A and B are shown apart, each in its own frame.
Chain A
């Protein structure tokens, strides 16, 4: 009987851990304070669980946006009404995100920003649609979320297909400019919809541009412990660039594996990689991460407002701001801007106003934030970053660059 128990437990352990993993620290949130009325905006992010680092950053970003708006006089067309951020914890789980979205709407939130994981965002989008409350996605890349014809969901970041296509284009242009045009790309990616979506878009564009993508190798981001074997496969393939799509922890494993196996590639090239463009990455990997590229959505640090936000974040939370927090900041600004123009806090009217958005972004974009009929941000593009002497610099395209790209970036 004991044995049967243990075997049963071992079999259901993955399920059990998913179902009753760490419970969150929901509730809380910033106070609007002051006189006059307050308007609630929900910030729904993974505050606990494996993505807690990003989730907490994004929640902080949303709070900073509300503080900035309130300090500047609140929503002026509504008599200086203050924004109150209601923080909620999705725990990174779709079903929790869905129930929390329902809860915050019943609590009176007139808009939601969130939610990091695409699967969570997809569920929140259905709740937003049913309740006719606008949902502004800060981070979640899956194209499928906005291909359902939703009217109440908008996305600030570029979608997976935009990042994948632009990533291939940048690699082609940059390597050509450096006199060593890319010929063959080995693509290593996490196996979920995020990784495969980016890979497919990248491969399609690469074929158009005339360079080869293969082999494509994948891994499970949740459980991977070592990527040395995959890296040996890359080494044997004869590829001259290694493209990588994944999250933070696995990105660090990639750097460790590249450092031990030393595949003869000109560059390690992240496409929407969750590690290579973060300030924490060069700190953790040291020399091993030097020269890594990442084509990803990114705050535009050539703008003074973005620099100010980064400095404010550092002083307030004693941490380097991540891209996600800037996107959450922008997402709250989109909602506040829509309320200002709609002169209303009715969710339906806010939604109408969001479709007419024309707002300067803190992100590196090709233009201001404006949404197409699907709800995608028309101005959203990825840019190319590179780790140079332990610092992540914007290197491509030229008008958004802080420094010249170094290509080939690796000894091989």
Chain B
């Protein structure tokens, strides 16, 4: 338990810690701190702007650069959406959830099943996937993970890795390995500033923004959200004021998993549905979480957009390289400038 508390208080997740540091510091120091924060963020913004301008200069035609930016932002929204649940779980439970991609894959298959055999509209299935994944997340936390709470991180890491293996191979067993597709009725190509995008991608992007807003409101404006933030900041303190931390752990994990469920439904029309599809998002989601500031929902969304842009602009700057190369260049750059993540200060 002591280890766990120490982990929380030393992280950039807890807003109180940063604030209290600022308060106890002299005015000069605090200004320097604020300057440092804004400066590094300004640097990031400047780097992005430079990259965009260079992309226009470097690309054979401006349309290519515009397309890269539009595609990057749209994909980035999806990355952010996937990372939101991950960052929430990490911020509160201190768990590196390797099963997040597998949960997303489960949601993909639920969506596929409801669409193909029940004839539901793909987006309507979210009414099923989010609650089902919420229940699954709750059960997994209560049944499997609760015993490992407060234990060293590698315990939980191995458990979630195990859950992901079980889920992926269960999907393989029940549904087989053949690729499946979820078609969005009325899907068409839409022109955006000279570039093009599928309607399904735009809707997934809008859905990501709405969900991020909802999650943000829940965390900021509700009693449950306040309790969640309290547990994230200091779980012993939260216990002392009468918060049932075990219930908050389970609920937070369930909300995070429900986010994966909603993300699964939103991305279903964009991807080939296979048991291993969720794992594709895992690596990028981890990077997004760190860039955005661990435990920060808005940071996850912004981090996702940055990574989406980096990936697509990378195809212009570094043709023929893996998109992960440009992603990790940005990752290292952000870690260098702001080790606590872009939004590490606020929660």
Q: Which residues of A contact B (CB under 8 A)?
A: 1-3, 5-7, 9-10, 13-14, 16-17, 20-23, 25, 48-50, 52-56, 191, 216-220, 222-226, 228-230, 232-233, 235-237, 248-249, 252, 256, 259-262, 280, 283-286, 319
Contacts and interface: CB of A to CB of B under 8 A. Distances in A.
Contacts of A13: 282-283, 286
B290 A1 contact: no
Contacts of A284: 179-181, 272
Contacts of B274: 50, 53, 249
Contact of A229 (B179, B279, B315): B315
A10 B169 contact: no
B172 A223 contact: no
A5 B197 CA distance: 38
- Listed from nearest, the 7 A-B pairs whose CB atoms lie closest are A53-B177, A52-B177, A2-B7, A220-B322, A232-B67, A10-B286, A260-B189
Contacts of A5: 7, 96, 153
A71 B16 CA distance: 75
A369 B281 CA distance: 43
Given A1-B6, A10-B331, A226-B71, 4 more contacts: A53-B179, A229-B72, A262-B189, A283-B181
Given A10-B287, A53-B274, A229-B64, A218 B153 contact: no
A232 B276 contact: no
A230 B274 CA distance: 24
Given A1-B6, A10-B290, A22-B169, A280 B179 contact: yes
11 contacts: A14-B324, A22-B172, A50-B276, A53-B177, A191-B320, A226-B71, A235-B63, A252-B181, A284-B180, A284-B272, A319-B178
A7 B276 CA distance: 24
A48 B176 CA distance: 10
Contacts of B198: 256, 260
A52 B172 contact: yes
* Interface core residue of A222, A228, A283 (most chain B CB under 10 Å): A228
A218 B314 CA distance: 12
B302 interface: no
Given A49-B276, A236-B60, A256-B198, A6 B283 contact: no
Contacts of A222: 280
B177 A228 contact: no
A323 B201 CA distance: 32
Contact of A17 (B6, B195, B283): B283
Given A52-B275, A252-B272, A260-B198, A22 B283 contact: no
Contacts of B286: 6, 9-10, 13
A223 B177 contact: no
B115 interface: no
A243 to B, nearest CB: 15
Contacts of A230: 315
B259 interface: no
Given A229-B315, A232-B195, A260-B198, A223 B322 contact: yes
